[in-house]
A and B are shown apart, each in its own frame.
Chain A
Amino acid sequence: MTRMRITTTRPGVRELPNVDMTTSLASAQLPNPVLTASGCAAAGRELDQFFDITAIGAVVTKSIMLKARSGRPTPRMAETPSGMLNSIGLQGPGIDEFIDKDLAWLRTRGARTVVSIAGGSVDEYTKLAHRLRSVDGVTAVEVNISCPNVEDRGEVFACHPDTAAAVIAAVRRATAPGIPVLAKLSPDVSDIVGIARAVVDAGASGLSMINTTLGLVIDTDTMRPALGGVTGGLSGPAIRPVAVRCVWQVHQALPDVPILGMGGIRTGLDALEFILAGASAVSVGTVVFNDPGAPLRVLHELQLALGDRGFDRLRDAVGFAHRVDPVEEPAAVEVEAAAPEADDA
Chain B
Amino acid sequence: MAPVQVRGEVLSLRRLGDYFSLTLVAPGIAEGARPGHFIALAVGGDDSAMLLRRAFSIYRVQERGVYGGTVEIVFAVHGKGTAWLSRVSPHDPIDVVGPLGRPFALPKEPVTATLVGGGYGSAPLFALAEQLRGRGCRVDFVLGASSEGRLFGALEAKRMSTQVAITTEDGSLGERGRVTDVLPQMIERSGADIVYACGPMGMLKAVHRIATAYGAHSQCAVEEAMACGIGVCMTCVLPVTGEDGLTRMVRSCVEGPVFRGDRVRWDEIGTVPPDTVGAPAPVSTSPNGTAGERP
Contacts and interface: CB of A to CB of B under 8 A. Distances in A.
B51 A70 contact: no
Contacts of B232: 40-42, 46-47, 288-289, 292
B248 A89 contact: no
A286 B278 contact: no
B294 A70 contact: no
Contact of A84 (B3, B227, B236): B227
Contacts of B276: 70
Contacts of A71: 234, 237, 249, 272, 278
Interface stretch (B18-26, B258-266, B279-287): B279-287
A86 B236 CA distance: 11
24 contacts: A39-B234, A40-B294, A42-B231, A49-B3, A50-B4, A73-B271, A77-B52, A82-B49, A87-B291, A87-B295, A89-B293, A118-B293, A146-B292, A146-B294, A147-B291, A154-B288, A154-B290, A156-B292, A211-B292, A230-B289, A237-B51, A285-B294, A290-B53, A292-B5
A289 B292 contact: no
A148 interface: yes
Interface in B206-257: 224-225, 227-228, 230-238, 248-249, 254
A37 interface: yes
Main secondary structure of the interface of B (DSSP, over half): loop
Contact of A63 (B53, B224, B279, B294): B294
Given A212-B294, A231-B289, A73 B270 contact: yes
A156 B289 CA distance: 12
B169 interface: no
Contacts of B31: none
Interface of B: 2-5, 42, 46, 48-53, 95, 97, 224-225, 227-228, 230-238, 248-249, 254, 269-272, 276-280, 284, 286-295
Nearest to B237: A74
A217 B4 CA distance: 33
Interface in A255-311: 285-293
B133 to A, nearest CB: 32
B293 A146 contact: yes
A229 interface: yes
Contact of A236 (B51, B95, B230, B294): B51
Contacts of B5: 50, 291-293
Main secondary structure of the interface of A (DSSP, over half): loop
Nearest to B253: A46
A150 to B, nearest CB: 7
A130 B22 CA distance: 53
Given A49-B3, A72-B272, A214-B292, 11 more contacts: A49-B230, A50-B230, A70-B276, A77-B235, A87-B295, A88-B295, A91-B234, A118-B293, A186-B292, A233-B295, A286-B51
Contact of B289 (A74, A227, A290): A227
The residue among B49, B51, B248, B254 with the most chain A CB atoms within 10 A of its own CB is B51
By Cβ-Cβ distance, the 10 closest A-B pairs, closest first, are A88-B295, A39-B294, A229-B289, A68-B278, A231-B289, A77-B235, A289-B228, A70-B278, A230-B289, A154-B290
A328 B290 CA distance: 48
A154 to B, nearest CB: 4
Interface string A31-56: 00000011111100011011000000
Nearest to A69: B278
Given A47-B232, A76-B235, A91-B234, A229 B295 contact: no
B228 A292 contact: yes
Nearest to B239: A70
Given A46-B231, A82-B51, A73 B290 contact: no
